[in-house]
Amino acid sequence: MGSMALFSDLSFFICLGLACIPAIILGVMEKPLRYYGFAVSLIFVFLSMGHNVPALIFLGIFLAWEYIEARVYLIVRQKIGRNGRLYWLFLILSILPLCLNKYLPKTSEGFSVFGFLGISYMTFKSAQVIIQIYDGQIKKVGLFPYLYMDVFFPVITSGPIDRSERFKEDCYKVLPKPEYLNLAGNGVEKILQGMVYKIVFAAIFWDLLQKYGMGESVGGYIIYMYLYGLYLFFDFAGYSLMAVGASYIFGIVTPDNFNKPYLALDIKDFWDRWHITLSHWFRDFVFSRVTMDLMRTRKFKSHLVIASIAFFINMGVMGLWHGTAVYYILYGLYHGALLSLTEVWQKKSAFYKNHKNNKAFQVLEWAVTLHLVLFGFLIFSGHLFGVA
């Protein structure tokens, strides 16, 4: 009891199927889904973490901490206005649990501070709330929608990362029956598609990887690179499709995470297609803010210089968020470099400007981008460092 792997174990899929039946009935009867969805989410929390009591306790502390923080900051913001120092204080407090979790060493029994499923993703949402309170866009934080947003079971494991106000809107909306049936139908389709991706294709490529990709020669690494890229896509996109599909059945139109990423023409396009909710979160809450702050200092006249610095910081943080291993940081910096170089190339190169609509050039662009991306995943896998 209590260590179910969501979207992986057979027991999960059986429970999901059963849980969807009342959801569909409620949806068809045009009744609100949020209370049932919240109850189901709590059940999955217990099913997935119940065996690990410290995890449950940490989850409770985390939720209380973040919610109280949001309420307090709301008052502070209303009374004092846009004070930079207080903003940074509250923002740092909101990511503190995740930092403690990632950077404090594990004890010998494997106990880690704030070690519970979903902390990495819940932190995004809590931080986003603080940021948008500062912006003035969030003026109210209700207990129920806040908690529901964090424990909403389809996205606990690995996202997609929704936005608090968008989620709240969906959560309180009751769809008319034909719309709900359409949504739920799409949801079922996505779940099935996701299952094929993850359970069939990802598994196949993982097997091939273990069989043929472990060679220590250059050839071996190249094979690993291609197979790992395929495995990673089908595994992650498959999970994301299932998460989105399950969300639909519970009335939440969670945004998609993947859009044919291996068809990207350039690295900027790639980040609009791969782990989209993460990339857009970083764009809206890190990249754009770093850029604006740099512009305000007036130290850099060139937009290209500002963009490059911002890309490095943005992607560096993204790499760090994955973990403290050196290959995660390298992965982040690698993409920071790619984005900066792409920006310079696209803005400065006459060759690019003259040929960018040329079909043959686009094929070349696509091929180069694809391999740059796959090499990035090779770094990310840790394989080059003997880890995987």
Partner 1 sequence: MGLFGKKKTENNEKVSAAPAAGAVDIRTAILESLANICEDEVVKEDPDINIVEEGLIDSLGYIELLMQIEEKTGVVIAPAEYTREEMDTPNKIIAIVEAKAKA
Which residues contact partner 1 (rule: CB under 8 A)? Answer: 78-82, 132, 135-137, 284-285, 288-289, 291-292, 295-296, 303, 306-307
Cβ partners under 8 Å of residue 75, min gap 6: none
Least Å distance, CB 303 to partner 1, is 5
Number of neighbours of residue 207 by Cβ within 10 angstroms: 12
Least Å distance, CB 320 to partner 1, is 21
Least Å distance, CB 292 to partner 1, is 5
CB nearer to partner 1: pick between 225 and 307: 307
Phi-psi region of 258 (alpha: psi -120 to 50; beta: other; left: phi over 0): beta
Cβ partners under 8 Å of residue 276, min gap 6: 160, 255, 256, 257, 258, 259
216 burial level (CB within 10 Å; 0-12, 13-18, 19+): exposed
Best CA proximity match to 73, nearest among 9, 149, 146: 146
Residue 368 to residues 217, 246, 331, 364, Cα–Cα distance (Å):
23, 36, 17, 6
Least Å distance, CB 285 to partner 1, is 7
- Give the three-state DSSP class for 259: coil
CB nearer to partner 1: pick between 24 and 344: 344
Out of 322, 335, 355, 371, pick the active-site residue.
Answer: 322
CB nearer to partner 1: pick between 17 and 136: 136
CB nearer to partner 1: pick between 285 and 312: 285
CB nearer to partner 1: pick between 231 and 285: 285
Least Å distance, CB 5 to partner 1, is 34
Instruction: Let me know if 322 is a catalytic residue.
Output: yes
Range list of H helices, 53-137: 53-80, 84-103, 119-135
Catalytic residues: 322
